[in-house]
Amino acid sequence: MHYKTEGIVLSNAGYNDKYSITHVFTRDFGRVSYLLPKIRGRRSKINPALFSPLSI
């Protein structure tokens, strides 16, 4: 199931060459961890500023 909620990024750590682990605090679910594809690559479609610590 998909949920849409706002959260604050607590930390972002590299997992291996392809993924990073991002910890987010949300009002609905508390602290949640996500396994995300690398966001700093040349071909990344995700804005890395969205996953800097303490961003909303």
Q: Which residues, listed in sequence order, are joined to residue 12 by a DSSP beta bridge?
A: 22
| Residue bearing the bigger pLDDT, 39 or 18 | 18
| Residue bearing the bigger pLDDT, 1 or 7 | 7
pTM of the model: 0.72
Residue given tokens 């060459």 in the structure block: 17
The b-or-e profile of 16-48 (16+ CB within 10 A means b, else e) is: eeeebebbbeeeeeeeeeeeeebbeeeeeeeee
What is the per-residue pLDDT across 3-34, written as a single tens digit (0 to 9) for each? 999 999 999 888 888 888 999 999 999 999 99
Q: Residue 41's pLDDT is what?
A: 64
Q: Residue 15's pLDDT is what?
A: 86
Q: How far apart are CA 44 and CA 4, in angstroms?
A: 22
